Copies of this chain bind each other. A is one copy, B any other.
Amino acid sequence: MKSSLYIFSTRWEAHDLFRKLLTIEEAKQVLERSFSPKPVGVEHVHLSEALDRVLAEDVVAAMDVPPFDRATVDGYAVIATDTFGADEDRPVILKLCGHVSVGELPSVVVEKGTAAEIATGAPLPGGADAVMMMEYSVQQGDDLLIYSPVSRGENVMKAGSDIHRGETVLKRGQMPSSREVGMLAALGLTKVNVYTRPKVAIVSTGAEIVEPGKPLPPGKIYDTNAYSLSAAVLECGGEPILLGTVPDEADQLRAALNKALILADIIVTSGGVSVGPTDIIPRVLNELGKPGVLVCGIASKPGKPTTIAIVEGKPVFSLPGHPTSSLFMFYLFARPVIYSMAGRREESPLMLRAVAAAKMFPARGRRTFVTVNLTRNKSGRLLASPVPLGLSGAITTLARADGFIEIPESQQFINAGDEVMVRLFKPTPYVALLTE
């Protein structure tokens, strides 16, 4: 048996070599040489729609925030030096000269020996350079008894101390969260320039697939990829355009791709790319325009039958039909391109160190991604167990996994007990408490 397995695996390798499988990095390099992903456009959106959009330009403050010196407490606007020496036993006595309300220009000027009542947020009146907290003073008629000194600038928020005019408050490429949206509002802005979401056409191919919602004839399956890829496009900041399903037939595929090239900036297909250079999808892609197919097959598991092309200056990712493979290859190849075209910066991956719960073998000569679940063993160590049913044909594999392990092409195996790095799909309860 051993000798025949050896013979067969060399036949298999020869078959692979014939198909010139590129490594993941080689495939990315080939793509990068032919296509530089850039944002596709800029649009104005209202501040209330700015959340999680991508800023298309730096935001430079056209005004100071606050626009004037503001009292930060309720109290009395004073000249700080007037209060020096005041203490509980020997209060300083100042004359009340008026009142400053919030939202009004002060009508008083604080002169030496005087104080003006002031509300939190009101503009500091001329002459004053500090605010005495109400709690440290007592008002007796027109006299104000002060029991504690204040220093210059105390309880005053200086004009421009939060944001100064001319300052770059947000950078191109930032995605405003609730914390940043307030900064835009503070500057009085209601419109911001954000990058247009790149349009991503999604085409499913295959004679066996049926759109969800329709009756399912025997021998057919529902199209899962169109919707999972559409959701994945939204997650990347793109706008999905669902173009439905087409059979593995050149004319219909050509028509669908032509429509996609008109409507979208990026095209993603799934299915129909299984057997190599004579496949219908690579052939049609090559006919549609130059340079055509750049990558036809990748030394990756899952995802070997992946084709990448550039047609009319637009990237086309033809992913396998298997749901897990197609979504995984989308994450690996299409996602970074959509991110760049959406103007987004790549996020830091969430990684956790764990221990392999079982021996794991990579596919011969291919970068292998093993989806895993995390559990904690009795001694508190984090265990990474391969997800059962980890077939590339399975729909549930990715949904049931916490993340994945990457096994290099050169590695023979990962032993049970070996330390592994798990890349998480999203924060899990295990990220609750992290140590550097």
Contacts and interface: CB of A to CB of B under 8 A. Distances in A.
Interface of A: 1, 3-5, 7-8, 11-12, 15, 47-48, 50-51, 63, 65-68, 70, 72, 74, 87-89, 101-106, 120-123, 135-136, 147-148, 157, 161-163, 169, 176-190, 206-210, 212-214, 216, 218-232, 234-235, 240, 242, 274-275, 321, 323, 327, 347-354, 381-382, 389, 391, 393-396, 398-399, 421, 425-436
Nearest to A376: B436
Given A88-B8, A353-B435, A395-B186, A178 B428 contact: no
Contact of A435 (B105, B189, B435): B435
A189 to B, nearest CB: 6
A187 B212 CA distance: 8
A4 B72 contact: no
Copies of this chain, whole number: 2
10 contacts: A7-B88, A102-B219, A103-B207, A121-B321, A176-B231, A184-B227, A186-B222, A187-B212, A189-B212, A427-B427
Given A8-B88, A184-B227, A393 B219 contact: no
Contacts of A177: 231, 235, 425-426
B395 A178 contact: no
A208 B178 contact: no
Nearest to A208: B103
Nearest to A182: B228
B4 A395 contact: no
A68 B218 contact: yes
Nearest to A382: B436
Contacts of A321: 120-121
B433 A351 contact: yes
